[in-house]
Structure 1
């Protein structure tokens, strides 16, 4: 079983950095979605893809993955770009 491990990014709808220190472990999909011929809905038998596990640190997530024989791909969080602007710049 393969999984992705990444740090939760800050939402664009929030100004604070709450829950951004958490590490998330998501299972990668191993099969394709099938279309139901009766309803037309897409579905799959892969229920592990519906689970997202949160860990307080990267090492805790790696320990969990090692204990459960899960191959992990670590996705680094991109750099933060701050646009420093003074309030007075709005009136120039």
Structure 2
């Protein structure tokens, strides 16, 4: 079973960067999920899909996978390219762009 090592991105409901600073090691699913016919719950018999390990750095996650002989893939994060601008900068006297309504 192959493990994924990645840095989680923020979801659409977040404005901050909480829970995006650590690296995560998760196992890729071996079997597809199944719908239980009586109650309609989605279930799996794959116990490794519940393992979710966090590390401070990518190197720590890779070292753990190599030490435990776990095959892994590293997914590099996509960093945002937009600079953060404060709301008050829209009203500064020496604003670079024109103010239009």
* TM superposition score category, shorter chain reference: 0.7 to 0.9
Output the aligned Cα RMSD: 2.4
Task: Report the TM-score, using the length of structure 1 for normalisation.
Answer: 0.78
Who wins on radius of gyration, i.e. which is larger?
A: 2
Q: Within 5 Å, which residues of 2 pair with 1:10-89?
A: 10-12=10-12, 13-15=14-16, 17-82=17-82, 86-88=89-91
For residues 18 and 36 of structure 2, the distance between their equivalents in structure 1, rounded to whole angstroms, comes to 40
Equivalent pairs, count: 91
User: Residue 21 of structure 2 aligns to a residue in which SS?
Assistant: coil
1:7 lines up with 2:7 in the alignment: yes
Point out where structure 2 has 5 or more consecutive residues left out of the alignment.
92-96
| TM-score calculated relative to the size of structure 2 | 0.72
3-state DSSP class of the match of 1:81? coil
5+ unaligned residues in a row in structure 1: which ranges? none
Distance 1:90 1:46, change over 3 A: farther
Distance 1:83 1:28, change over 3 A: same
Q: Which has the higher strand share?
A: 1
